[in-house]
């Protein structure tokens, strides 16, 4: 199932520090300075506030221990380096333990605008800011616990809920649709499309509906789910997820709203 990656995650030394090249730091700089001016009016206020809390460096790729200092202060979360995409059970176990797995390589210039795999820009810029929010981090922790408790045949279903919230979630808390999902926040093209385009469907977030909705990872999304407030994520963190799963299984999958993937 897993496709061969052209990238290898970099391993930290005994201090938890990773040696990046000047060119890798320059790629980070160019990515972050392109993305920050895109946020106004497109990222939700909570996300922009959370980015300020992270105080990410502009000139260099941040090191994981410095990120953990900030996350620990706010929510007790940590980021942990992983070699590549990891199996569901490992992923769920880390999240249930308030550890967010991050790939530590950075994309090359050839894939500056788009790559399918998560790189450290996606992981750190996209994901870490909202890990400072107690409601959001409670949701991800509950997600990890629900994953550990779930039947393995429901893992792919649970992945859809993660996709439509943590990765591609939108929120409208009164001042229009805004983004908070990491897949959107780390993509200049999808940030504009997700918030401003008339093409995609935008539906209120319903967990059972999200569990039933298929997606493709290689195109802009055709459906986005919109939260009314981050408080809703906290409410979901307190819910019984096994009832969502059994209801979604009973109702079955929605038909795709995107074209089939062309054969390579």
Rounded Cα distance between 196 and 199, Å, is: 9
Stretch that binds Fe ion, among 83-91, 100-108, 182-190, 254-262 (CB under 5 A): 182-190
118 binds Fe ion per the rule CB under 5 A: yes
Among 182, 184, 185, 194, binds Fe ion (CB under 5 A): 182
# chain residues binding Fe ion, by CB under 5 A: 2
Stretch that binds Fe ion, among 7-15, 81-89, 176-184, 227-235 (CB under 5 A): 176-184
With CA atoms as reference, report the closest residue to 177 among 17, 18, 50, 47.
47
Rounded Cα distance between 109 and 101, Å, is: 24
DSSP letters for 70-81: HHHHHTS-EEEE
Rounded Cα distance between 227 and 202, Å, is: 10
Query: Pattern 36-75, binding to Fe ion, x per CB under 5 A?
Result: ----------------------------------------
Q: Which two tokens stand for residue 225?
A: 């789910």
Query: Pattern 76-115, binding to Fe ion, x per CB under 5 A?
Result: ----------------------------------------
Rounded Cα distance between 162 and 120, Å, is: 19
Backbone φ, ψ for residue 174 (5° rounding): 115, -20
Between 62 and 118, name the residue whose CB sits nearer to Fe ion: 118
With CA atoms as reference, report the closest residue to 154 among 61, 241, 69.
241
Between 118 and 207, name the residue whose CB sits nearer to Fe ion: 118
Between 159 and 249, name the residue whose CB sits nearer to Fe ion: 159
Rounded Cα distance between 40 and 59, Å, is: 21
Name the minimum Å distance from CB 255 to Fe ion: 26
Between 90 and 235, name the residue whose CB sits nearer to Fe ion: 90
Name the minimum Å distance from CB 198 to Fe ion: 26
Name the minimum Å distance from CB 122 to Fe ion: 6
Between 46 and 187, name the residue whose CB sits nearer to Fe ion: 187
Rounded Cα distance between 259 and 220, Å, is: 12
Binding site for Fe ion (CB under 5 A): 118, 182
């Amino acid at each position: 199932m897993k496709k061969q990656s052209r990238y290898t995650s970099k391993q930290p030394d005994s201090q938890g520090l990773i040696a990046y090249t000047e060119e890798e730091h320059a790629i980070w700089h160019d990515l972050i300075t392109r993305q920050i001016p895109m946020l106004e009016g497109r990222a939700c206020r909570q996300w922009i506030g959370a980015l300020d809390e992270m105080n990410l460096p502009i000139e260099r790729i941040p090191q994981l221990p410095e990120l953990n200092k900030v996350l620990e202060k706010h929510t007790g979360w940590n980021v942990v380096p992983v070699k590549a995409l990891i199996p569901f059970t490992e992923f769920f176990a880390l999240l249930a333990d308030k550890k967010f797995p991050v790939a530590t390589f950075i994309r090359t210039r050839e894939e500056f605008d788009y790559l399918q795999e998560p790189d450290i820009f996606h992981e750190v810029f996209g994901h870490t800011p909202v890990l400072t929010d107690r409601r959001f981090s409670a949701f991800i922790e509950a997600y990890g616990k629900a994953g550990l408790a779930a039947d393995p045949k429901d893992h792919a279903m649970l992945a859809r809920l993660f996709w439509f919230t943590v990765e591609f979630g939108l929120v409208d808390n009164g001042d229009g649709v805004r983004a908070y999902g990491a897949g959107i926040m780390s993509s200049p093209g999808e940030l504009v499309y997700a918030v401003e385009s008339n093409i995609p469907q935008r539906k209120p977030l319903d967990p059972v509906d999200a569990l039933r909705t298929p997606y493709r990872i290689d195109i802009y999304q055709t459906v986005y789910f919109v939260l009314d407030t981050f408080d809703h994520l906290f409410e979901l963190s307190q819910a019984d997820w096994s009832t969502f799963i059994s209801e979604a299984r009973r109702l079955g999958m929605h038909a795709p709203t995107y074209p089939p993937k062309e054969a390579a």
